[in-house]
A and B are shown apart, each in its own frame.
Chain A
Amino acid sequence: MSLPTARQADLVPQQRRPKNQFWLSSIGFVAPGVLLVAVVLYLPFLWTTYISFTEYNGLGDPEFIGIENYRDMFADPAFLNSVLNTLYWVVGTIALPVGLGLLIAVLSHGLPNATLFRLPFLIPYALSGVAVGVIWSFVLQTNGALSQALEFFNLPGSELRWLLDAPLNTFVMIGASTWQGAGVNALLFGIGLQSIPKEPLEAARVDGASGFTLFRTMTWPMLAPLTTVVVGLSIVGSLKTFDIIWGMTKGGPGRVSETLALTMYKETFVNNAYGLGAAVALFLTVVTVLASILYLRRQLAHSRSI
């Protein structure tokens, strides 16, 4: 008997809480953002979800066909190959741009002229994916600049057809994306290193830790929250990769270097299979959201246990 009474007592003061005198203007200030996002982002999300269960070519009315698009999608070897390529991109992007970004940040931290040393890595970040694609497809042409350099130094690999053979073309494009993305990760890790308190590091140094041991036992754990953010951003970013691939192979030759982002674009706007394209888009979204949630939950559980 006492429990419900207690709850009621809890509720009463809340109901009597004076109204926020700014409630009207607070709604006015938040409304433009919420409305724009609702109309231009959420409404299309819902529509794409619906279209993925229909047959639709952009003309006339969509016809409901249940999960047939999804069945077609998973039966298509090109789609499965696209999933595999996307996986390469995720793994490669976590390993290379994040790892190199961390390395650059740690090496340049505290150096005089650190900004100067980081400069070469920041230039590519300001380029568009298409410009990166233009540069690297030139470098990687069969018998192009890279092959000539390898030949000149008598190194193996000059006969490779970098952009024509799979999965090599996906790997070299991940390389191009590393060239572009390592700098911004270095910038973010640099910000993180600056915010680490100096005293524990000094104490560890006095106790005799130095070099890699100091990094492994002190710096790395203290960077953990930032690493979570950088890796999370990289996962989401790599799942959406479009520009560099469009600028280098357009997913080809044939469809061998497509990722999900390209498959979606081609099904929708090249083949006019809007329903199938929507199904690919929804699949990509589910994977992205699941990956973010799983990753964040693991990271958060991990940081709690420390």
Chain B
Amino acid sequence: MIARKIVLAILGLLWLVPVYLLLANASKLPAEFGDYGLWEPGNIGALLTNMADAWDRGRLSQGIVSTAIYAVVSPIIAVLIGAAAGFAIVALRLRNGFFWFVVIFASTIFPLQMILMPLFVGYAETGLFNTRVGMILVYTVIATPFSAFVMRNFFTGIAHQVFEAAVMDGASTWRIFWRIYLPMSTSALVAIFILQATFIWNDLLLGLTLTQSSEIRPVITALSALQSTYGGSAMSTVLAGGLLVSLPTVILFLATQRAFSRGLSLGQF
């Protein structure tokens, strides 16, 4: 027991070293950066100044509203679409339901690289390029297969008698879906939402390909640009920016970790 704890604690501390270096060096003003050793801590005041700098001059502020919209709206729509597909297959016993499930789910095996170029060209032609609607659309579709996968598994665990009883009472299928099946699966819905919101918030590739202006670009893409332009001279500003854009997902993930693994262990495998 003790030996296990010691090994884990050492590994854990090792894992925290890069986090320490991030915090320590994000809290040194670029002008004073050379006066400190890399392993020395900085100070809180400088950290706030650096964050403000990354936020304003690094233009992280412009992307953050868009990113928040993408990371909230797309997973919600995807969770509903995935749940609807699962409902059709499991509760309504869609003909060839398994085939349609495979059609939706198999698309996750293929690398994103396969769709980048056609989306870029297609978005340019349809006017979706560099629009929020376009980004919400693509993120929704990317999040749908996983959501259908978990929701189909989850609904399999709900007895079909529930559905039959509701039909006897004269409820419409829409009402059964909306008022009975969705409320029964809150834990799975939340787990999918958290996972997909984190994924979308952290996405680089789609943002890089399908957007251009800084109000539409996701914030991670802005961070990547910040790293390229500031990289050498103002490393601490870049580190502060990295810290800033990571806070929402880290907090969300750590706060919901328990609920999250519960929802997944019910749904998966």
Chain A residues engaging chain B, CB cutoff 8 angstroms: 20, 22-23, 25-30, 32-34, 36-38, 40-45, 47-48, 51, 58, 100, 104, 107-108, 111, 115, 117, 119-131, 133-139, 144-145, 148-149, 179, 187, 190-192, 194-195, 225-226, 229, 236, 239-240, 242-243, 246-247, 260-261, 264-265, 268-269, 274, 277-278, 280-282, 284-285, 288-289, 292
Contact = CB atoms under 8 A, between A and B. Distances in A.
B81 to A, nearest CB: 5
A265 B207 CA distance: 13
Contact of B269 (A187, A225, A280): A225
Interface of B: 1, 4-5, 7-9, 11-13, 15-16, 18-19, 21-22, 25, 37-39, 81-82, 84-85, 87-89, 92-95, 97, 100, 103-104, 107, 109-122, 137-138, 140-141, 144-145, 148, 173-174, 177, 198, 201-205, 209, 220, 223-224, 227, 235, 238-239, 241-243, 245-246, 249-250, 252-254, 257-258, 261, 264-265, 269
A137 B235 CA distance: 10
B8 A107 contact: yes
A288 B13 contact: no
Given A128-B202, A285-B110, A41 B115 contact: yes
A213 B60 CA distance: 53
A37 B144 contact: yes
Contacts of B93: 20, 22, 26
Given A129-B204, A131-B246, A282 B224 contact: no
A145 B107 contact: no
Given A23-B95, A144-B38, A128 B220 contact: yes
Nearest to A293: B109
A27 B95 CA distance: 9
Contacts of B174: 25
Given A29-B177, A45-B115, A120-B12, A145 B21 contact: yes
A23 B148 CA distance: 19
Contacts of A225: 269
Contact of A135 (B21, B97, B258): B21
Closest 8 CB pairs of A and B: A128-B202, A29-B88, A44-B118, A26-B92, A126-B253, A30-B88, A44-B115, A120-B12
Interface of chain B, main secondary structure:
helix
Contacts of A240: 111-113
21 contacts: A20-B95, A29-B88, A29-B92, A32-B84, A34-B104, A36-B81, A37-B107, A38-B103, A41-B115, A47-B118, A107-B4, A119-B12, A126-B253, A127-B202, A127-B246, A131-B243, A134-B227, A187-B257, A282-B114, A284-B114, A285-B110
Given A20-B95, A30-B100, A265-B116, 13 more contacts: A26-B88, A33-B82, A100-B11, A115-B258, A120-B16, A122-B257, A130-B204, A130-B242, A139-B18, A239-B111, A278-B117, A284-B114, A285-B110
Contact of B110 (A36, A45, A265): A45
B74 to A, nearest CB: 11
A134 B223 contact: yes
B85 A122 contact: no
B9 A130 contact: no
A41 B107 contact: yes
Given A128-B220, A134-B239, A37 B111 contact: no
Contact of B111 (A20, A108, A137, A288): A288
Nearest to A282: B114
B106 to A, nearest CB: 9
Nearest to B9: A117
A130 B224 contact: yes
Nearest to B249: A126
B246 A128 contact: yes
A51 B144 contact: no
A108 B6 CA distance: 11
Given A32-B81, A131-B245, A25 B92 contact: yes
